[in-house]
Structure 1
Amino acid sequence: MAYQLRGVIGRISAAQGVAAELGSVASVVPLEQGFALVPYTTAVYDAFVAAGRASERMKPFWWLGESLAELCAAASRDSPLVYVEAEYFGGAGDQKAVLWKGGAIAFGPVTTGRLSASGHGPGQTAISQALAGLGVVGTAPERDEFLVLGLDRHRNWEDWGGAG
Structure 2
Amino acid sequence: MGYQLSAVVADVELLREETRELEHAVLGGLRQDFALLPVTPRLVEDLTGAPPDYTAGEPDPEQPFTLVLSPALTGVLARWSRRGPIAYVEAAFAGGLGHQAAVVWLGGARSWGPRFDAVFDGPRGEWPINAALVELGVEPGAWIDPFAELGLHVERDTAGWLAHGRRGLTVDYWDELAEEWEERQSGIGQQPDGPRSVGDWGIP
The normalised TM-score by structure 1 is: 0.84
- Number of matched pairs: 157
In the alignment, what sits opposite 2:43? 44
User: What's the offset of the Cα at 1:75?
Assistant: 0.6
Partner-residue secondary structure (3-state), 1:33: coil
Q: For residues 52 and 39 of structure 2, what CA distance do their matches in structure 1 show? A: 15
**Which residue identity is paired with 1:28?**
L
Q: In the aligned structure 1, how far is the partner of 2:144 from the partner of 2:66?
A: 28
Change (3 A) 1:52 1:36: same
Percent identity of paired positions between Structure 1 and Structure 2: 34
Which of 1 and 2 has greater Rg? Answer: 2
Contact persistence 1:41–1:158 (CA under 8 A): no
- Matched with 1:68 is 73
Cα deviation for residue 28 of structure 1 reads 1.0
Quick one: distance in 2 between partners of 1:62 and 1:20? 26
Q: Which has the higher strand share?
A: 1
| 1:46-95 residue CA offsets vs partner (Å, 9 max, x unmatched) | x438x623466694312233322111101101111000000011111111
Q: Which residue of 2 aligns with 1:147?
A: 148
Give the aligned partner of residue 53 of structure 1.
Answer: 50
Gaps of 5+ in 1: none
1:62-141 pair list within 5 angstroms? 62-63=66-67, 64-115=69-120, 119-139=121-141
Gaps of 5+ in 2: 56-62, 167-204
Give the TM-score, by structure 2 length: 0.68
| Corresponding residue of 1:161 | 162
Q: Considering only aligned residues, what root-mean-square deviation do their CA atoms show, in Å? A: 2.4
* Matched-pair contact (CA < 8 Å) for 2:80–2:108: yes
Q: What is the letter of the counterpart of residue 52 of structure 1?
A: G
- Contact 1:7–1:37 (8 Å) recurs in 2: yes
1:119-148 deviation per Cα after TM superposition (whole angstroms, max 9, x unaligned): 1342221000000000001226x6111000
Distance 2:70 2:19 in 1: 16
Specify the alignment match of 2:190 in structure 1.
Answer: none
Question: SS at 2:115's partner residue?
Answer: strand
With over 3 angstroms needed to count, the CA separation of the structure-2 counterparts of 1:57 and 1:104, relative to structure 1, is farther
Please state whether the residue corresponding to 2:83 is helix, strand or coil: coil
Q: Displacement of 1:25 after TM fit?
A: 1.6
